């Protein structure tokens, strides 16, 4: 939008990816403005008690690191694993306090709508030449309108948890009993201890957030031995969980899987799977959960419920924009096939940038965790590469925008059954036409003249990648963007 080059680029979100976008805009000497609905890193602070799986070296954006290095900032030990609170304290807050960023940052500023000036969704004439208008409300409730040449939405999904219903809706009684239901990873051993110690808690979900919550609850048992934990997964069972999602090559995540498996085998953690919750009723001081478990009726009385069934994007502020979103995962259409858990379940997603993030609405981009829509396993380093590419595009450096400047390490095995892993120990599924190939990846390798992908041998142990993985966000515990 050359007509409005003097207008700022608007960044929505003051988390890791939003501030990384700001650092890239500083690097490109482009004016910008940031809108953060709370305080800097508020979503990260919400799970501040959780330690991430990846060391600091993967958690600091390169451009942001350079800005911080120019001031009196002590870089954390690159091998340490920070908690969410440490990410905020030692990285996000110092970055946001830099004058070049602080001068453009609006906190407690909630963006209510993004539109083209004087044009609704159906207005086409002169649309691409019209600036964006961001309608936002400050802490006092006053509404403002800010013009922008481009918009980078890094607002994340942390405050949009999925309900427990298999159909994507709250089950009957879920909303009504919200005072006994938590979403995500509550601080059960700290600030929320009194709510869970000595209680029977049902944890629902199959990702690392659910596992973390369950294991944290177990930490209460030595001092509160009457603490009980039931863990319900909506699909599969322990074989599926150990076959893919838990046995990750990252040491912290691998230990988490081993701890969960041992807890289930010892009886300290009761696994219910697959479970479809149908109704919740309060009976006295207890919640009665009515559900189907593997085709049979299940009735369970608990004190509290923790729901960790994933997240979804808030698209309401964007309804007057022309977006191209996949109808299944609500991610940009070019990105969706790379992350759709219906198509594959490997943690590794190829690095991608502006080409995969484009929408019909020119100069508007959704990045970070929100770009993944409802798909799991977002990587923080992926978000940093996204904003590097997007900002290069906005700056007119189209060659740099299309260069992949990130080599992502492998993040783990696929979430398939052990039998399937023996038949095909890599992602991609079964070969399409070559009967001698063990999987799609092997078929492609052989078609290009290589001997194969090397994954056809049966595996008895989890497949281990060659490098530690970067921070995985959403279904596991890491940083919402």
Reply yes or no on whether the pLDDT at 2 is more than 90.
no
Query: How does pLDDT run across 184-237, given as a tens digit for each residue?
Result: 999 999 999 999 999 999 999 988 789 889 999 999 999 999 999 999 998 865
Going from N- to C-terminal start, the domains of the chain cover 2-159+311-409, 178-307, 414-461
Write the CATH number of the domain with boundaries 2-159+311-409: 3.50.50.60
* pLDDT band (50, 70, 90) for residue 53: confident
Q: Give strand pairing partners of 280.
A: 289
Query: Tell me, what's the pLDDT at 432?
Result: 39
Percentage of residues in the chain having pLDDT higher than 70: 78
Reply yes or no on whether the pLDDT at 420 is more than 70.
no
Residues 6 or more apart whose CB falls under 8 angstroms from that of 35 comprise: 10, 11, 12, 13, 14, 106, 109, 110, 111, 134, 136
Query: How does pLDDT run across 222-249, given as a tens digit for each residue?
Result: 999 999 999 999 886 555 455 444 444 4
Q: Mean pLDDT over residues 24-48, rounded?
A: 97
CB 150 within 8 A of CB 28: no
Helix axes 380-394, 16-27, angle to 10 degrees: 30
Q: Round to whole Å and give the CA distance between 426 and 268.
A: 33
Q: Mean pLDDT over residues 405-414, rounded?
A: 55
Going across the sheet that includes 143-148, the strands are: 110-116, 132-137, 143-148
Q: Which residue has the higher pLDDT, 350 or 388?
A: 388
Reply yes or no on whether the pLDDT at 428 is more than 90.
no
CB 205 within 8 A of CB 228: no
Q: Round to whole Å and give the CA distance between 323 and 359.
A: 5
Reply yes or no on whether the pLDDT at 442 is more than 80.
no
Helix axes 16-27, 62-69, angle to 10 degrees: 70
Helix axes 380-394, 62-69, angle to 10 degrees: 80
Q: Side-chain half-sphere of 276: how many Cα atoms within 13 Å?
A: 10
CA angle 352, 44, 144 (to 5 degrees): 85
Query: Tell me, what's the pLDDT at 251?
Result: 52
Residues 6 or more apart whose CB falls under 8 angstroms from that of 79 comprise: 55, 56, 57
- CATH, domain 178-307, list 3.50.50.60, 1.10.260.40, 3.30.565.10, 3.40.50.300: 3.50.50.60
Query: Tell me, what's the pLDDT at 14?
Result: 98
Reply yes or no on whether the pLDDT at 430 is more than 60.
no
Q: Round to whole Å and give the CA distance between 227 and 217.
A: 8
Q: How far does the chain reach from its first CA to its final CA, in angstroms?
A: 26
Q: Give strand pairing partners of 271.
A: 231
The reply to whether 178-307 shares the fold of 2-159+311-409 is yes
Q: Mean pLDDT over residues 247-276, rounded?
A: 72
Query: How does pLDDT run across 115-157, given as a tens digit for each residue?
Result: 999 999 999 999 999 999 999 999 999 999 999 999 999 999 9
Q: For the chain, what is the HEC assignment?
A: CHHHCCCCEEEECCCHHHHHHHHHHHHCCCCEEEECCCCCCHHHHHCCCCECCCCHHHCCCHHHHHHHHCCCCCCCCCCCCCEHHHHHHHHHHHHHHCHHHHCCEECCCEEEEEEECCECCCCCCCHHHCCEEEEEECCCCCEEEEEECEEEECCCCCCCECCCCCCCCCCCCCCCCHHHEEECCCCCCCCCHHHHCCCEEEEECCCHHHHHHHHHHHCCCCCCCCCEEEEECCCCCHHHHHHHHCCCCCHHHHHHHHHHHHHHHHCCCEEECCEEEEEEEEECCEEEEEEEECCEEEEEEECEEEECCCECCCCHHHCCCCCCECCCCCCECCCHHHHCCCCCCCCCCCCCCHHHHCCCCCCEEECHHHHHCCCCCEEHHHHHHHHHHHHHHHCCCHHHHCCCCCCCCCCCCCCCCHHHHHHCCCCCCCCCCCCCCCCHHHHHHHHCCCCCCCCCCCCCCCCCCCCCCCCEECCCCCCCC
Query: Tell me, what's the pLDDT at 409?
Result: 52
């Amino acid at each position: 939008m050359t007509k409005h080059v003097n207008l700022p680029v608007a960044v929505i979100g003051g988390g890791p990816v939003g501030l990384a976008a700001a650092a890239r805009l500083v690097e490109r000497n482009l004016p910008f403005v940031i809108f953060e609905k709370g305080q800097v890193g508020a979503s990260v602070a919400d799970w501040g008690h959780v330690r991430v799986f990846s060391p600091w070296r993967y958690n600091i954006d390169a451009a942001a690191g350079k800005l911080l290095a120019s001031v009196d900032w002590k870089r954390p030990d690159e091998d340490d694993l920070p908690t969410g609170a440490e990410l905020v304290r030692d990285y996000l807050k110092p970055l946001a306090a830099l004058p070049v960023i602080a001068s453009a940052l609006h906190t407690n500023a909630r963006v209510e709508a993004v539109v083209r000036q004087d044009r609704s969704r159906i207005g086409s004439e002169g649309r691409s030449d019209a600036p964006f208008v961001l309608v936002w409300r400050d802490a006092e409730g006053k509404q403002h309108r800010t013009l922008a040449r481009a918009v980078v939405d890094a607002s994340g999904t942390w405050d949009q948890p999925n309900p427990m219903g298999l159909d994507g809706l709250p089950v009957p009684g879920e909303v009504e009993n919200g005072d006994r239901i938590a979403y995500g990873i509550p601080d059960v051993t700290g600030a929320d201890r009194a709510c869970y110690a000595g209680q029977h808690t049902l944890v629902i979900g199959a990702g690392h957030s659910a596992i973390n919550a369950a294991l944290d609850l177990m930490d209460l048992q030595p001092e509160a031995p009457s603490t009980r934990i039931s863990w319900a997964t909506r699909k599969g069972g322990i074989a599926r969980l150990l076959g893919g999602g838990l046995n990750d090559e990252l040491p912290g995540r691998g230990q988490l899987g081993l701890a969960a498996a041992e807890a289930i085998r010892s009886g300290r953690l009761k696994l219910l799977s697959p479970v479809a919750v149908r109704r919740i009723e309060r009976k006295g001081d207890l919640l009665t959960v009515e559900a189907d478990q593997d085709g049979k009726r299940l009735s369970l009385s608990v004190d509290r419920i923790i729901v960790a069934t994933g997240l979804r994007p808030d698209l309401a502020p964007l309804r007057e924009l022309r977006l191209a979103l996949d109808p299944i995962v609500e991610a940009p259409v070019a990105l969706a096939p790379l992350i759709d858990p219906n198509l594959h379940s490997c943690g590794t997603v190829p690095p991608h940038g502006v080409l995969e993030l484009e929408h019909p609405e020119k100069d508007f981009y959704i990045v970070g965790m929100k770009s993944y829509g409802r798909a799991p396993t977002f990587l923080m380093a992926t978000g940093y590469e996204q904003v590097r590419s997007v900002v290069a595009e906005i700056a007119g450096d189209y060659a740099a925008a299309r260069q992949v400047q990130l080599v992502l390490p492998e993040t783990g095995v696929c979430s398939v059954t052990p039998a399937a892993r023996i038949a095909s120990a890599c992602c991609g599924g079964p070969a399409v036409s070559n009967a001698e190939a063990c999987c799609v990846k092997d078929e492609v390798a052989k078609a290009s003249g290589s001997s194969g992908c090397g994954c056809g041998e049966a595996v008895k142990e989890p497949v281990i990648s060659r490098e530690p993985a970067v921070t995985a966000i959403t279904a596991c515990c890491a940083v919402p963007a």
